[in-house]
Chains A and B, each alone.
Chain A
């Protein structure tokens, strides 16, 4: 059991570290604000979930695991809210997302 637990949490932690790093590189490489936000959201969802999940497996069923789950739930609820607020206020400030438009008028199923 201990061996198995170690392997699972090792895999989760490695994956989490990888996704966190990818998000950091993406934030540096992307050309404009809105594309950078996509890269940041990778670290907020996959990175956080995998890292906290890995620690949770290591902690086993205890008070610490419940606290970690609460932190994860809180991060997953607040991060889209704050990035929506960021995107919306950037849009209101007149920063244009230079991109092709794809609008469908009425023929939405």
Chain B
């Protein structure tokens, strides 16, 4: 699956079809496959196709969330008094799998206004620009959605 992806990417990028370039492309694809096999990338079935539809639905939700909180941060930045109330929130996440925790941490950081400070086991420390943002994170809706992502 990854091999097909890499091959298509190479063909798209170069756009040349000379034998030497094709051979180089095949060589680099094989190299990436070997390295990712040695990194144990295939132990977690992250590339499974059946997750893709759920992943796309999650991304749509995340995009809506990003737009909403961008508006919030923009309002804060442009107002004259700079009404910030920085808050540090700590909570225990539901997701146990390392991939889930990485997705959750990155989603929190990707959303403007909230920022993952540290992840220790299932304990997340999150810095929020306003107190409202911290309360939104503590509601745990993002946590719930991420842990549903991989459940069968």
Contacts and interface: CB of A to CB of B under 8 A. Distances in A.
Contacts of A7: none
Contacts of B77: 22-23, 25-26, 29-30, 39, 42
Interface string B73-109: 1100110001011111111100000000000011101
Contacts of B84: 30-31, 35
A97 B117 contact: yes
Given A35-B129, A99-B87, A104-B91, A42 B70 contact: yes
A79 interface: yes
A83 B109 contact: yes
Category for how many chain B residues contact A: 35 or more
B110 A76 contact: yes
B70 A84 contact: no
Contacts of A32: 86
B73 A38 contact: yes
Contacts of B12: 63, 66
B138 interface: yes
A63 B11 CA distance: 11
Interface residues of A, number: 41
Nearest to A80: B109
B15 interface: yes
A96 B121 CA distance: 22
A43 to B, nearest CB: 9
Contacts of B67: 46
A38 B129 contact: yes
Contacts of A29: 77, 82
Interface string B121-152: 00000010101001100101000000000000
Listed from nearest, the 5 A-B pairs whose CB atoms lie closest are: A80-B109, A99-B86, A26-B77, A80-B106, A46-B70
Interface of B: 12-13, 15, 66-67, 70, 73-74, 77-78, 82, 84-92, 105-107, 109-118, 127, 129, 131, 134-135, 138, 140
